[in-house]
Structure 1
Amino acid sequence: MKNNISKILIAIVALIAINVLAKKYYKRLDLTQDKRYTLSETTINIVDNLEENAIIKVYLEGDFPSEFKRLQGETKQHLEELYSINDGIKYKFIDPLDTAEELIKQGLQPSRLTVQEDGKLSEAVIFPWATITYKGKTENINLLSEGSVKNQEEQLQNSIENLEFAFSEAIYKVSTESSQTIAILKGNGELNDINLVSFLSQLNQFYKLAPFTLDSVAKQPEKTLEQLSKYDLTIIAKPQEKFSEQEKFTLDQYIINGGKTLWLIDNVTAELDSLMNTGESLAFNKDLNLTDLLFSYGVRINYDLIKDAYSSTIKLEDGNLGNTAQLKDYIWHYYPFITSKNDHPITQGVDPVNLKFANTIDTLKNSIKKTILLQSSEFSKSVGTPIIISLNDIQKTPEKKDYNNGYQTLGVLLEGEFTSAYASRVKPFESKLYKEVSNHNKMVIIADGDIIANEVVKGQPIELGVDKYNGVRYGNTEFLMNSINYLLDDSGLLELRNKKIQLQFLDKEKAYTERTFWQMINVILPLVILALFGFVFTFLRKRRFS
């Protein structure tokens, strides 16, 4: 009896020891080919730094299409992975139907999905959202990809690929106090505040913003450079006036000393408003005095305009109905909309970007890494300037032979160690901050200032990227936000958007047409196998005992 008790006690102690060791030396194995459950070092670091409980509510519970059950399952699996890193991750799945109105007030808009069952199409409404609360801060997480997709399966694929980025970004936002600052450059005829309201209001949620003028560089150049160098990034949005050598040197040394820059430059003056008034307008070159500066970094913005067969539209009068003028949409080839050709984190999953009177960019050979972010379509051409632009162009049918210049670069990311444009030149002023070569740095150059400009309707700004005439929404905001996030992202968070997962989907049409065959297989085949087994068993039994 005592021997049995001792064995039981030993077994209990052994089980406890195994559990303690298993918890301490916990290891999960990801045997999937695409390593979908392997978290990046970025995610691990972000989650591991949580000091308190983070409460996550996921509104993917209830009755919704079977395909999106996969999104529910993948979300649950991902949260389990996060919990394995930090048990402060507390999550629960909630049926949103009981609190739908409250969720909509919080900005969690429902999505309508097309469901195909038994060959019939129907609609279903789901709330593909989650929220995270940490130390009193709450962030909404959109679990459903909103980029351009061909079908619902592709949308689901993108959504599952985006899960790690979506949750890691939200956790980073609620757990990190952003101290990064952005200067909005003024003083050289940059865009008016009313044209920047939409984007800057988005940007202000994540960074500290302040206007910065270079006017004082004429009297206090050293002090101006020191003040500008306190900002992490500077946005130069569609300047109209020439930069002096002192202003250029200030920007140059700001970059060489580690400042990030987002250049949104028009080298040609061309505006639709003047065209609307007269029907014709002269597009002429600007003298911004930036060519040598950008040339030293490895790019040249050309004095031309891009015309693209794939373009957005403008509204023009097309006759009258009674006393009311009738408006009609016409394709305007000077307004290309750009679908990115690469899968860089800045452009991945972003809707087409709408540009207006954009210039082309040449990239030059040097040690700087250059990544093309925006390109025209294959059917585009460059038009030299100055040139008379006429609204009569809309009546001309584009011919393929005229749009044969191929892909033209309109936006580029530069990364590397930049050499000062004044390395072998006389300096406009002496500075103790002067350096000839930077440490590793980054900048984005877009040859269109209007990419950041929201339209104004009846004196009120509307959302950036939304066409004021037809309501079409373009990806300008997301592209610019991704650009700034990438430039300022020291954690590597945006790189998570490159994660690829391969899902296998059921062919619904084939399944519907062949359903009778497979139903018969599933019902009759097991019975046939069972009957065959019974027959063989009976035959062998009789043979053995007869």
Structure 2
Amino acid sequence: MKKKFHHLTSIVALAFVLMGINLFSSKHWFRFDLTDNQQYTLSDSTKNIVSSLDDVLTLRIYFSENLPPQLLELRRQVTDLCEEFKQYAGDKLQVEYKDPGKSPAEEQKLAMLGIPPVQLNVINKDKQEVAKVYLGAALFYQDKTEVIPLIDRIDHLEYELVENILKISEKEKPRLAFWVGAGETAMGSGFKLLHTQLERRFSVVDVEKKNAAEVLSEANALLLLAPEHFSAKEVKLLDGFIERGGNLLAFVDAVEVKPGLIPEERKTGIEDLLKQWGIEVRSDFVLDASNAFASFSGGAVTYHLPYPFWPKVLPEHFHPEIPMVSHLESLVLPWASSLTLPGSTETLNVDLLARTTPKAISTSLGNLSSLSPDKASELFQTGVHEELNLAAYLHGVFPSLYHQKKTALPAKLVLVGTSRFLRDNFLQLFPENILFLENAVDALTTGDALVGIRSRLSTHRPLREQDEAVFMALRVLNLLVAPLILLTVGGIILFRRKRKRKTLLASLEANA
């Protein structure tokens, strides 16, 4: 009887312990995140942003109650993430969960907010049916509203929430001047996707000849894309913008790629201004052993070939201590030119953001008649291999081209020797390129708050190229390891059998 009572007491005690652990963990919970980029852990930027809200923000999650089984895990993950947000925001964040399908009036409100229902094919009682569900969210802050029309994946949700929190809590959007070529519009110059993406967080204003001075005087930053034949007046505007402490992102094409992959020199008009700062965007093309694939047509067949004229920067070739690039995993720079940079001084700091591998070459226009893959192979055999500069960040006081004695304010410049990587066709091929641009714009305007979160959206794990000696060593090792293991195991077994037999014989002789 005592034994049964002891077992019952143990069970009751264990139940109370488990209840206590469950209650404690609901208030003070934690998780172990073993993913490489801490995918399931809030970034420090997120924690700082949500914990510093000035007023109460309401986050309303609109998920249908009767979701198909394949979406139940998504709902759990969204709930966990929202509760983690609330843990750091405290009373400044209210999280509400609603099922709009229960009320036609609520569905009408969502339609006005811009959160549509999603049509899904589901199997119910061995029949395929179309289900209407809601998978959206809305943020309400003071008199402002931002929406996330569709939540279909958890890995982007932290970034989307923080981006919308920043937008909704900012008193005014930062102004970004958008200057393309010789005053073209973004829509007609191949930068439409970039323009649309930037409009989510910035007040983007196109620069034209007639409004350039006014736009630059009010802009927090200037995005200069593919400048061409700039006049002395336009160069003076750029010089004055930097002199007043402006933030400039310049993506400069020093060479042109004509139809048929024919190279041609290109005059930007800002060469003298860059020279005044100690910079040159060289009239060359960079070829690198680390590169992206490109498609080439040969009759009715399309070939996908490694194309050295499209260098691909991998993590080890980004600056490890500058947030705008330190967490990037790749950046493809089609037909890029190399940069000649000055050394840092007491007033101007120069940092190299991205570089090639040591197996890159620079080739001038005089050595090129075509940019074909065959020509790239030929150049690799005859060229001098070296590391080349691809992107740079300069910050400090820049010497003016026009006012040698006038005191200038500290300014910032991000420079890359190509603008093509931001054009619509290349953003569709290499969507991770936009991360570099968004990081750079943020770093020059609002800070690094979104940089760490955004960089986790891209996961690129390419196979590393191995030296021939390493490859041969691995191959020989692979051939020898299995036989050596078998010989070792067999030798151990044989040795143990002989020892056992010897022991047995000795025992028999002793008994005899």
**Residue 445 in 1 paired to residue 415 in 2?**
yes
Aligned alpha-carbon RMSD (Å): 4.6
After superposition, the C-alpha distances for 1:127-154 in whole angstroms (9 at most, x for unaligned) are 9x87342156233399899xxxxxxxxx
Residue 436 of structure 1 aligns with an amino acid whose one-letter code is: T
**Residue 205 in 1 paired to residue 205 in 2?**
no
Are the counterparts in 2 of residues 132 and 171 from structure 1 also a CA contact under 8 Å? no
Find the residue that maps to 1:179 and give its secondary structure.
coil
Equivalence for 1:90: 95
Equivalence for 2:226: 238
Are the counterparts in 1 of residues 176 and 205 from structure 2 also a CA contact under 8 Å? yes
Equivalence for 1:436: 407
**Residue 301 in 1 paired to residue 281 in 2?**
yes
Question: Cα offset for 1:397?
Answer: 4.4
Residue 264 of structure 2 aligns with an amino acid whose one-letter code is: A
Pairwise mapping of residues 307-456 of structure 1 onto structure 2 (< 5 A)? 307-319=287-299, 325-340=300-315, 341-342=317-318, 344-347=322-325, 350=328, 352-367=330-345, 368-390=348-370, 393-394=373-374, 397=377, 405-424=385-404, 436-439=407-410, 441-455=411-425
Instruction: Select 2:238's aligned residue among 251, 260, 264.
Output: 251
Instruction: Select 1:229's aligned residue among 199, 212, 217.
Output: 217
Find the residue that maps to 1:390 and give its secondary structure.
coil
Question: Which piece of structure 1 moves more, 251-260 or 43-52?
Answer: 43-52
Equivalence for 1:322: none
Q: Which has more helix, going by share of residues? A: 2
Residue 55 of structure 1 aligns with an amino acid whose one-letter code is: R
**Residue 75 in 1 paired to residue 50 in 2?**
no
Number of positions where the alignment pairs a residue of Structure 1 with one of Structure 2: 394
Q: Give the whole-Å Cα distance in 1 for the aligned partners of 2:150 and 2:424.
A: 24
Find the residue that maps to 1:90 and give its secondary structure.
strand
After superposition, the C-alpha distances for 1:365-412 in whole angstroms (9 at most, x for unaligned) are 134333433333343211123343325542774797657634322122
* Structure 1 spans left out of the alignment, 5+ residues: 1-26, 97-101, 111-126, 146-155, 217-223, 276-280, 320-324, 426-434, 456-463, 467-471, 501-546
- Over 3 Å counting, the alpha-carbon distance change for 1:264 and 1:353 in structure 2 is same
Residue 384 of structure 1 aligns with an amino acid whose one-letter code is: S
Equivalence for 2:467: none
After superposition, the C-alpha distances for 1:141-195 in whole angstroms (9 at most, x for unaligned) are 99899xxxxxxxxxx9xx5xx8765533221123335432222225736676321
Q: Give the whole-Å Cα distance in 2 for the aligned partners of 1:44 and 1:416.
A: 28
Residue 238 of structure 2 aligns with an amino acid whose one-letter code is: L
Question: Which piece of structure 1 moves more, 298-307 or 326-335?
Answer: 326-335
After superposition, the C-alpha distances for 1:275-310 in whole angstroms (9 at most, x for unaligned) are 3xxxxx3433x3334234224445332221101233
Q: Give the whole-Å Cα distance in 2 for the aligned partners of 1:90 and 1:47.
A: 17
- Over 3 Å counting, the alpha-carbon distance change for 1:75 and 1:93 in structure 2 is farther
- Over 3 Å counting, the alpha-carbon distance change for 1:333 and 1:437 in structure 2 is same
Question: Cα offset for 1:206?
Answer: 2.4
Question: Cα offset for 1:358?
Answer: 0.8
Pairwise mapping of residues 2-81 of structure 1 onto structure 2 (< 5 A)? 43-44=48-49, 47-56=52-61, 75-76=81-82, 78-81=84-87
Equivalence for 2:492: none
Q: Give the whole-Å Cα distance in 2 for the aligned partners of 1:38 and 1:180.
A: 23
Q: Give the whole-Å Cα distance in 1 for the aligned partners of 2:330 and 2:444.
A: 21
Question: Cα offset for 1:448?
Answer: 0.2
Equivalence for 1:14: none
Are the counterparts in 2 of residues 334 and 356 from structure 1 also a CA contact under 8 Å? yes
- Over 3 Å counting, the alpha-carbon distance change for 1:89 and 1:327 in structure 2 is same
TM-score by length of 1: 0.59
Equivalence for 2:166: 172
Equivalence for 2:129: none
Are the counterparts in 1 of residues 220 and 445 from structure 2 also a CA contact under 8 Å? yes
Find the residue that maps to 2:450 and give its secondary structure.
helix
Equivalence for 1:268: 255
Are the counterparts in 2 of residues 345 and 497 from structure 1 also a CA contact under 8 Å? no
TM-score by length of 2: 0.62
Percent of residue pairs identical = 16
Q: Give the whole-Å Cα distance in 1 for the aligned partners of 2:324 and 2:236.
A: 29
After superposition, the C-alpha distances for 1:303-328 in whole angstroms (9 at most, x for unaligned) are 21101233334443324xxxxx3333
**Residue 497 in 1 paired to residue 467 in 2?**
no
Question: Cα offset for 1:67?
Answer: 11
- Over 3 Å counting, the alpha-carbon distance change for 1:379 and 1:138 in structure 2 is same
Are the counterparts in 1 of residues 50 and 85 from structure 2 also a CA contact under 8 Å? no
Equivalence for 1:139: 147
- Over 3 Å counting, the alpha-carbon distance change for 1:57 and 1:80 in structure 2 is farther
Find the residue that maps to 1:372 and give its secondary structure.
strand
**Residue 182 in 1 paired to residue 176 in 2?**
yes
- Over 3 Å counting, the alpha-carbon distance change for 1:495 and 1:202 in structure 2 is closer
Are the counterparts in 2 of residues 190 and 237 from structure 1 also a CA contact under 8 Å? no
Are the counterparts in 1 of residues 324 and 440 from structure 2 also a CA contact under 8 Å? yes
- Over 3 Å counting, the alpha-carbon distance change for 1:391 and 1:413 in structure 2 is closer
Residue 228 of structure 2 aligns with an amino acid whose one-letter code is: Q
Q: Give the whole-Å Cα distance in 2 for the aligned partners of 1:54 and 1:350.
A: 30
Are the counterparts in 1 of residues 43 and 452 from structure 2 also a CA contact under 8 Å? no
- Over 3 Å counting, the alpha-carbon distance change for 1:84 and 1:227 in structure 2 is closer
- Over 3 Å counting, the alpha-carbon distance change for 1:208 and 1:481 in structure 2 is same
Residue 446 of structure 1 aligns with an amino acid whose one-letter code is: V
Residue 200 of structure 2 aligns with an amino acid whose one-letter code is: Q
Are the counterparts in 2 of residues 239 and 265 from structure 1 also a CA contact under 8 Å? yes
Q: Give the whole-Å Cα distance in 1 for the aligned partners of 2:116 and 2:329.
A: 21
Residue 436 of structure 2 aligns with an amino acid whose one-letter code is: F
Equivalence for 1:486: 443
Are the counterparts in 2 of residues 185 and 212 from structure 1 also a CA contact under 8 Å? yes
Question: Cα offset for 1:359?
Answer: 0.4
Are the counterparts in 1 of residues 439 and 451 from structure 2 also a CA contact under 8 Å? no
Q: Identify which of structures 1 and 2 has the higher relative contact order when contacts are C-alpha pairs closer than 8 Å and 6+ apart.
A: 1
Question: Cα offset for 1:71?
Answer: 5.7
Q: Give the whole-Å Cα distance in 1 for the aligned partners of 2:412 and 2:177.
A: 16
Question: Cα offset for 1:238?
Answer: 0.6
Q: Give the whole-Å Cα distance in 1 for the aligned partners of 2:45 and 2:303.
A: 50
Q: Give the whole-Å Cα distance in 1 for the aligned partners of 2:239 and 2:396.
A: 15
- Over 3 Å counting, the alpha-carbon distance change for 1:180 and 1:399 in structure 2 is closer
Q: Give the whole-Å Cα distance in 1 for the aligned partners of 2:295 and 2:453.
A: 37
